[in-house]
């Protein structure tokens, strides 16, 4: 399902570069095996000589984009860490501006249940590792991953199929997103149930159940996994969180914070994952 031709050229392009104090931020893109270009930021520390550096791959929450973790990646550059931040495939889907609000809601739901986009997400992440390992500045044995919400849910699947990543940080992800869609009273879950006919709803989520992160995170070893959850989360309840961490292979750690789903103002969580990544990646 997540197999692709690794011999395909990355065809990565640099569109612009912003020189900052001690590091550079490059606006780049690379080819997705599923079609199109993957927009990304590549953040590289300056003045590190020829020593290969550790790297971290980031995937944003559903409410965000590749810019979501950019401030954090810039702070990691001061620690001598390269970062690659990509846009998820759903951000590259065109939503017509000429449709009514109701028609746009239908279009949005259809995108949310498109299995191919979720598969492409994982493949695009694997391709991002291909890109990182192709760079002379990166130590291929010291690559980490940080994903939040959407990035943590599909990061769990990614952890089960990608063995070149040494450490995963998964922030507020679903262990079983299909269960959430079936049982949650959240307005987003209600919208999906209202728009999809019952028979189609059952068919779609029966197919997507095989992609629930709980089936993959058990295969993350030998990589280490750090889970970060919050107590005031409108999406991830404690049952989902506990199932996710319990299903993971070891070594694993779990940390809880007093914040909302977006970890608003939670500097403690960023400090914890920074220190944990520095320890895991060296």
Contact between 170 and 147 (Cβ < 8 Å): yes
Report the pLDDT value the prediction gives residue 94, as an integer from 0 to 100.
Answer: 76
Report the pLDDT value the prediction gives residue 66, as an integer from 0 to 100.
Answer: 98
What does the pLDDT look like over 80-130, one tens digit per residue? 999 999 999 999 887 667 778 788 888 888 888 999 999 999 999 999 999
Report the pLDDT value the prediction gives residue 138, as an integer from 0 to 100.
Answer: 97
What does the pLDDT look like over 216-230, one tens digit per residue? 999 999 999 999 999
Q: Which CATH class is domain 12-281?
A: alpha beta
Of the pLDDT bands very low, low, confident and very high (cuts 50, 70, 90), residue 50 is low
E strand segments, 66-211? 82-86, 138-148, 167-171
**Which pTM value belongs to this model?**
0.95
Nearest to 171 by CA among 250, 102, 104, 254: 254
Domain ranges of the chain: 12-281
Report the pLDDT value the prediction gives residue 232, as an integer from 0 to 100.
Answer: 92
Q: How many CB atoms lie within 10 A of CB 258?
A: 9
């Amino acid at each position: 399902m997540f197999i692709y031709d690794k011999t395909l050229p990355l065809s990565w392009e640099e569109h612009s570069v912003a020189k900052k104090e001690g590091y550079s931020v490059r606006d780049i893109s690379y080819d997705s095996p599923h079609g199109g270009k993957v927009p990304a930021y590549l953040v590289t520390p300056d003045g590190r000589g020829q020593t290969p550096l550790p790297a971290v791959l980031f995937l944003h929450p559903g409410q965000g984009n590749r810019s979501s973790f950019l401030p954090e990646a810039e702070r990691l550059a001061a620690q001598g860490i390269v970062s690659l931040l990509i846009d998820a495939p759903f951000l590259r889907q065109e939503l017509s501006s000429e449709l009514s609000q109701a028609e746009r809601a239908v279009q949005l739901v259809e995108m949310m249940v498109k299995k191919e986009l979720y598969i492409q997400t994982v493949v695009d992440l694997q391709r991002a590792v291909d890109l990182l390992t192709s760079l002379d500045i990166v130590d291929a044995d010291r690559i980490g991953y940080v994903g939040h919400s959407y990035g943590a849910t599909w990061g769990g699947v990614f952890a089960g199929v990608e063995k070149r990543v040494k450490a995963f940080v998964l922030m507020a992800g679903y262990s079983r997103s299909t269960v959430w869609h079936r049982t949650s009273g959240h307005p987003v879950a209600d919208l999906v149930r209202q728009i999809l006919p019952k028979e189609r709803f059952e068919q779609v989520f029966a197919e997507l159940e095989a992609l629930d992160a709980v089936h993959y995170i058990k295969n993350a070893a030998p990589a280490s996994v750090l889970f970060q959850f919050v107590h005031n989360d409108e999406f991830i309840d404690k049952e989902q969180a506990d199932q996710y961490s319990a299903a993971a292979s070891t070594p694993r750690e779990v940390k809880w914070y007093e914040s909302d789903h977006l970890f608003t103002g939670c500097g403690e969580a960023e400090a914890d994952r920074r220190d944990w990544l520095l320890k895991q990646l060296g």
